[in-house]
């Protein structure tokens, strides 16, 4: 949901194994430090990945991604 972007203190987000087809948007880019999207159905990552200011760990394993911007 779009309301997740208002979770200003969210640092860790686990969305693994959820059959997600598209990279999620409307996230709190300024606070997330660890993001797990492994074991989904992602085929590409959009440019929003560059908006994460504090991201240290990103797990995209077990997807079908060919290219990361």
Which of 30, 7, 27, 6 lies closest to 15 in space, CA to CA?
27
Q: What is the pLDDT of residues 4-25, one digit of tens each?
A: 999 999 999 999 999 999 999 8
Give this prediction's pTM: 0.90
Residue 54 has pLDDT above 80, yes or no: yes
How far, in Å, CA of 41 to CA of 10, rounded?
24
DSSP-assigned letter for residue 29: T
Buried b (16+ CB within 10 A) or exposed e, 31-69: bbeebbbbbbebeebeeeeeebeeeeebebeebeeeeee
Location of structure tokens 């860790």: 12
Res. 67: pLDDT tops 90: no
| pLDDT at res. 46 | 87
């Amino acid at each position: 949901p779009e309301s997740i972007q208002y979770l200003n203190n969210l640092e860790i987000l686990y969305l693994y194994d959820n059959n997600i087809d598209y990279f999620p948007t409307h996230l709190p880019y300024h606070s997330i430090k660890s993001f797990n999207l492994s074991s989904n159905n992602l085929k590409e990552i959009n440019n929003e990945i560059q908006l994460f200011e504090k991201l240290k760990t990103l797990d995209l394993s077990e997807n079908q991604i060919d290219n990361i911007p």
